[in-house]
Structure 1
Amino acid sequence: PILHVDGCTAPTWTFDDLVAWHWSYVCTETWTERYYDHESKTWKTRTRSETRTIRSGNHATDFMVHDGTGGMAVKLTTFERVDMGSQIWNRKRRGDNTCGPYAKSRHGGSLKHNWSLTALRKGDPAYIMARIKSRHHDEIPKGNVGFNATRVHHTLEAVGEDAPRRRAKISKGNEFSVLSAKNSSASRLGPWILLIVGAMALMLV
């Protein structure tokens, strides 16, 4: 499907290569207010701000993952945990008049607008933890291997079902990039811990 962020049909607000996305229009209002300070018994001013989501949208489509030797169906709509990574696009102003309207001030202050988009694109690497099961007979592509070199893989699908000690999820990126980001502080301190233990052993000897 084609995505027009916030309904805007401007070319730079239109995407046609996404399998999953989440966009949002967030507005931050800043204003100054006058208040009475009971301790000093004087009137003072202070700056306040409020950030609120005005509009948003999301979508997910089942897709095929391919490792170069064959493909497998991924039932993206069955996953509760999908990490699409950092933003791939953002804007501070409306694209054109087809976009949704600007938010209005609530407190008479100045407004800052931000539209952002996170997504999984076709061709993006993905780390998938899932249950692998056979597809229903009616969903398996017809034809022999000569016409469909990945037919054997097409008989399988990945679904977002949890299992003991394993939570089903999809994360943007490959296995190395996803797992390396989860290194604990203990693992980073590992060499220092070994040095301390080694020094203690030498002292005991």
Structure 2
Amino acid sequence: MKNSQQGADLSTADILKLIIEGKPYDWKEQYILGSQVRKLGNAPAGSETFLVIQKPWEDELIGDDDKVDLARPGIEQFCFRAALVLTINGKTYKWYKQYITGSEVRKLADIPATEQLFLAIEKPWEDEHIGDEDKVDLARPGVEHFYSKAEGPKKVTIYINHKPYEVLPGLHTVAELKAIAGVLLAHDLEQVIDGKLTPLPDNGKVEICGGEKFISHVKDGSSS
């Protein structure tokens, strides 16, 4: 009687516990493969296996050949998740949550902060700009397609005859500046530099950085 009881104690001591999709299981080896977890828990087709990690850390994706040590402190928990598919700049990615934020899309595809992120929308509707905190539901019908593009230079403000105008920075011809403000080509255009008027040749160019001021007048020198 004593020997049989001791044998029962030894076999029980060799059993390790794990939880799969909330259901407890026994395992008699120190390690378990991802494929064995899937078989034991009858994983749904098309799903992936995850080792549940205490928050705020992310759950760990477990491949079929990955080994998990069940002898570590605590009881290891596993779950199965269906992969949601998305594309970013033409490349396919998998995601295992219903929602994905703009910052997560950027991290997934290594998109720099200098580029804008968009969600492609079926035409004739406009594509949707996605901010870092914006959430996109990947469980909707179809595959969500994201793309990024470099943000163009922002417009700056210049003043012509005391009125503000928005233009792109860089070189502009005098003729372009006249056209922006509706100044007659026959009139002269002068730039205000350090409080003084500096004449600009009709065939000249001006480097625009923002904040420049210009005054036009008829060629005889009287005020326009």
TM score, norm. by length of structure 1? 0.26
Bigger relative contact order, structure 1 or 2 (CA pairs below 8 A, ≥6 apart): 1
TM score, norm. by length of structure 2? 0.25
